Amino acid sequence: MCKTRGCAFAARRALSYEKTNVELILSPMPLVSSRRPYRLARSRTGLGLFATKPIAKGDFIIKYWGPRLPNKIADEIDNRYLFEINKRWTIDGSPRRNIARYINHSCRPNAETDIIKGEILISAIKNIEPGDEITYDYGKDHFNGFIKPKGCQCDKCREKRRSARDGARTAAKRRKR
C-alpha cells in the first residue's frame, strides 16, 4: 500500500463503499461546502477569492463586514481594509473572519459592491465560472494610494503592459535592420 495522500483517500473511499454499498464518484477536487460558492486560495497578488460553483450575473456573493468606525477615526488608522460607506461611517474589514476582504482589485471586475442600509453587499456583474477569481474595482482613491505605486496586477493591466513591451521589441528590431 502506498503512503501518498491520494492512495489513502482512495482506500478510505473503497472501505466506505464496501460498508454502505453505495456507488461513489471519486473526484480530484476537494469537497466544498454547499453553502458557499467560493474558496480562499493563492492568487497572483497574494490571497484571493475564487468561485467553486457557477455564479450567475446578479447573484449575491458575500457581505463585507467589520466594525463600523466614524470617518474621523478611520482617517487616522493605517489599514488597507477600510471601506467608506458614506460621509460619516467606514467599515473596518480587517478581521480575518471577513472573507470578503480577500476579494482583489481588477480594472475589469466581475463583481460590484452595493451599499444598502449601511451594509456592503457584493454581487456578480458577469457570469463567473468555477475557478475564476472574484474581483471588483476598489475605486480611484484606493487605486492611487495603494495599487498604482506598485503597479496593478489585474489581467487587463498585465495584458496592456505585455502588449506595450511587445510593441517596443518589434520597434527595436525594425530599427536594427
For residue 66, count CB atoms less than 10 angstroms from its CB and return exposed for 0-12, middle for 13-18, buried for 19 or more. buried
Q: What is the pLDDT of residues 114-132, one digit of tens each?
A: 999 999 999 999 999 999 9
Q: What is the pLDDT of residues 36-62, one digit of tens each?
A: 889 999 988 889 999 999 999 999 999
| % of the chain residues with pLDDT over 90 | 49
Residues for the chain: how many in total? 177
Q: Who has greater pLDDT, 106 or 161?
A: 106
Is pTM beyond 0.95? Reply is no
Domain boundary assignment for the chain: 32-151
Smallest CA-to-CA distance from 10 within 20, 22, 24 is with 24
In words, the CATH class of domain 32-151 is mainly beta
